[in-house]
Amino acid sequence: MGQNFLACDREQSWLMPPSLREWLPEEHLAWFVLDAVEEMDLAAFYGAYRQDGWGRAAHDPAMMVALLLYAYAVGERSSRGIERRCVEDIAFRVIAANQAPDHATLARFRVRHEQALAGLFGEVLRLCAAAGAVSVGVIAVDGTRVKANAADRANFSYEQLAREILDEADEVDAAEDQQFGERRGDELPAELADRATRKARLRAAKARLEAEHAEKTRELERWQQEKDDHIARTGNRKGGWPPKPRPIAPAPEGRINITDPDSRPVKTATGFLQGYTAQAVATPEQIVIAADVITGGNERHRLKPMISAACDELTRAGITDTPQVALADAGYWNSPDIEHLADRGIRSLVRPDADKRRRPTRIRSGPLYEQMRDLLETDEGKQLYRQRQAIIEPVFAHTKITRRADRFQRRGLRACQAEWRLITATHNLLKLWRRSQTLQPA
């Protein structure tokens, strides 16, 4: 008797299932995403298209939304990657109904409907709330560094920008002199087109640094005026006015990235990277209830805005409960914000001291600092604050490592904010899908 193997005949003709419903099992994520999209309000997408039917037919926005949601959920954010998988991947083909939008169509859809895609965060949160997957007694806020779509070598100081502009002008003049001699050329040579664009970016970056310097100067002047008014009104010279801004240099300083001017070098545990700080507020079920992106890495003034944004998102999702406890690390310490949240009935547990081994941890003094330290030393405080990492850190780990969303694809703060809300919306969608799997009867 010869060896026994399963037949491998690539010329065999097969009759594929006539219905797309038979291509994937019923519990597959693709079907869950399609069902979720049917429950969403997509008026913002459809409202962007003509009502008279004129023009070339466009892909159905509901299909495009489902395709992007599924792609982001499985860690595929590249337009070319999505186009390729619409041909090679059964789940993508099911969602696209055997259509294959090209990468340019997908990219234009994301740009055209940027804010509508960001609004899907609220739609997914509403579905999570309807399924009973959101509890808001204790919430945690934190931030993580996300790379920008820009290289750190594209950072220029004000002096470097001015020098580059002059050098670019000299190079263009020299090239034109070599090509045209003493005569005048009617248009810029094709090989110099990119240089002209680069010069425009350099000039825009230089103007931005000048505008930021002017704003900082006005901020210092406003602070001085508030201080003078306070002293004149109360006669108290010991305090009572806002903290003094940092000293302003006589000329614009700092560095700016000419590829993505909104991005900044931000510090991480392994060094600096060119990027943004993405922030999230999560519940014990690791459902994200607020998401935002800021430039730089200073989170001191973000406690109140993030918790307030979370409360607003919960209200829009139909949840009337108010968070009772907000947990945050030392980077979010801000006395006015903590007092403001306390007035709203939200108790904040924020470490007043950074955990650094090379210097004393208790470097801040005052009644609120000592009160917070005493609270965190109690059994209740320890038990509550111990939940912070377990609530928020897995959200970032799953997003940046498992789904490989550790770098923004868009450029500019507004575009990155919309992209981060879409990323966190798909995180919530995955949480809801896994919850539905565990609740299904055996």
* In a domain? residue 8: no
The answer to whether residues 90 and 142 belong to one domain is no
* In a domain? residue 128: no
pLDDT, one tens digit per residue, over 167-226 is 554 454 555 555 545 544 444 344 334 555 656 665 666 566 666 656 666 766 676 777
* CA-closest candidate to residue 137, choices 338, 327, 322, 376: 322
The answer to whether residues 279 and 367 belong to one domain is yes
How many domains, the chain? Answer: 3
Q: Which domain holds residue 31?
A: 20-112
pLDDT, one tens digit per residue, over 242-297 is 555 555 544 444 677 778 888 888 888 888 899 999 999 999 999 999 999 999 88
The answer to whether residues 216 and 293 belong to one domain is no
The answer to whether residues 212 and 158 belong to one domain is yes
Residue 436 to residue 236: CA distance in whole angstroms: 61
* In a domain? residue 439: no
**Three-state secondary-structure class, residue 163:** helix
Report pLDDT for 350.
94
Q: What is the pTM of this model?
A: 0.79
The answer to whether residues 250 and 357 belong to one domain is no
The answer to whether residues 158 and 92 belong to one domain is no
Report pLDDT for 120.
96
The answer to whether residues 228 and 206 belong to one domain is yes
**Does residue 257 come out as left (phi exceeding 0), alpha (psi in the -120 to 50 range) or beta?**
beta
Residue ending a domain, choose from 224, 257, 290:
257
Residue 120, token pair as written in the block: 């899907």
Low-confidence stretches of the chain (pLDDT beneath 50): 158, 166, 169-170, 172, 180, 183-193, 249-253, 357-358
Q: What is the DSSP string of 373-399?
A: HHHHHSHHHHHHHTHHHHHHHHHHHII
Residue 121 to residue 99: CA distance in whole angstroms: 26
* In a domain? residue 266: no
The answer to whether residues 252 and 358 belong to one domain is no
The answer to whether residues 215 and 203 belong to one domain is yes
* In a domain? residue 263: no
The answer to whether residues 147 and 294 belong to one domain is yes
* In a domain? residue 129: no
Q: CATH code at 329?
A: 3.30.420
The answer to whether residues 139 and 288 belong to one domain is yes
The answer to whether residues 286 and 415 belong to one domain is yes
- Burial class for 252, CB neighbours closer than 10 Å (0-12, 13-18, 19+): buried
* In a domain? residue 377: yes
* In a domain? residue 7: no
